[in-house]
Amino acid sequence: MQTGGGQVWLRRASVLLFVTLSAIVGVLLVLLPWSLQWTANRLLWGYPELRAAVGNGFVRGLCSGLGILNLWNGFREAVHYHEGRGAVK
């Protein structure tokens, strides 16, 4: 069984990991759809229809919007994190 201090540090580490991963994935989803690597990659060479669909502005905007939501979710979690008195027993 963990002590109270161990649970606090575990919660802090999980929040830090969540915020970091949200920031990384969010930035990638915001920037990557507008780069050359988004459509000019080996995975899409054999599928011209899929390449055209992925290169569509709507799909790129949708991915960037998901990236912004991911960034917002991580930022919200970081701002609203608090330990509070007696939160861990």
Burial class (CB in 10 A: 0-12, 13-18, 19+), 30: middle
* Host domain of residue 60: 26-84
Mean pLDDT of the region 67-74: 96
Mean pLDDT of the region 39-61: 93
User: Can you give the pTM of this predicted structure?
Assistant: 0.79
Q: Does residue 10 lie in a domain region?
A: no
Give the chain's domain count. 1
Q: Does residue 36 lie in a domain region?
A: yes
pLDDT value at residue 85: 60
What span, in angstroms and rounded, lies between the C-alpha atoms of 9 and 67? 28
What span, in angstroms and rounded, lies between the C-alpha atoms of 82 and 73? 16
pLDDT value at residue 3: 60
- pLDDT by residue (tens digit) across 22-43? 999 999 999 999 999 998 889 8
Q: Does residue 57 lie in a domain region?
A: yes
